[in-house]
Amino acid sequence: MSHVRDVDTAEFNQYVIERSYEVPVVVDFWAEWCQPCRTLGPTLERLTEEADGAFELAKVDVDQNQALAGQMGVQGIPTVVAFKDGQLVDRFTGALPEPQVEKWLAGFVPNPLDEFVAVANGLVNQGREEEAAAMYRKVLEADGQHAGAAVALASLILGDGDTQAALEILEPLPASVEVDRLRAAARLGNPGEMSVEDLEAKVAGDPENESVKVDLAKARIAGHQYEQGLDLLLEVITRKGDLMDDARTAVLDVFEVLGADSPLTIEYRRRLANALF
């Protein structure tokens, strides 16, 4: 079944306005003589068929429906208008490149993968994390850059302590506040199998061992003892030894996890600057 149809003025209310209460409808105002229309039209038609019913495309020939084009404020062609729930929700004029058209469509066309993630999120809220993780993985099999699934799955995996797997899941994603926060949390990670108590004992026995101090700092941070961990990292930075850069990166990762507005971030950012300079 095709999801593309030619629509005239008499059919516009039925096949665009009324139909948009059931599924988003995109309207392509075009003309046979318009070269940009010939470029954009096939792209819209192919994307519509690939969406397989997620939205429909109504094509309106402006030469045959001049009054309708005027009512819709069409001043140049191609003009593309989107309707949802009986309302005009977005529009553009000109032959946009396909990636921009796809981004435009994503603003109002429901994504089945998003709905799948929403169900998985509900499972997490019910404590059914294994089932949710399986659903997130299925989404990522279909779209490895689906941010919602990747962020949710990485969060679950981090909770289990598998920092490397979390980083691998997040690796394809572009930067964002949440992605950067999770990457920072994963980099801080788990310093190893030694407990905080064992690490403290090693530091007490070898106060000059900066590697153990960094591990202890990360262990404290993993236990949300941020101040104690940051203090140790600043101590390593102040010495300006071989692990200075590692400690500095860890401090910046803590800032990412806490957020720029955190009082601890504000205080320790100042202290970091003093330690560095």
Which residue numbers are catalytic?
34, 37
Burial of 264 (0-12, 13-18, 19+ CB in 10 A): middle
Question: Is the peptide bond prior to 172 cis by the omega test (within 30 degrees of 0)?
Answer: no
SS3 labels along the chain: CCCEEECCHHHHHHHHHHHHHCCCEEEEEECCCCHHHHHHHHHHHHHHHHHCCCCEEEEEECCCCHHHHHHCCCCCCCEEEEEECCEEEEEEECCCCHHHHHHHHHCCCCCHHHHHHHHHHHHHHCCCHHHHHHHHHHHHHHCCCCHHHHHHHHHHHHHCCCHHHHHHHHCCCCCCHHHHHHHHHHHHCCCCCCCHHHHHHHHHHCCCCHHHHHHHHHHHHHCCCHHHHHHHHHHHHHHCCCCHHHHHHHHHHHHHHHCCCCHHHHHHHHHHHHHHC
What token pair was written down for 144? 């490895």
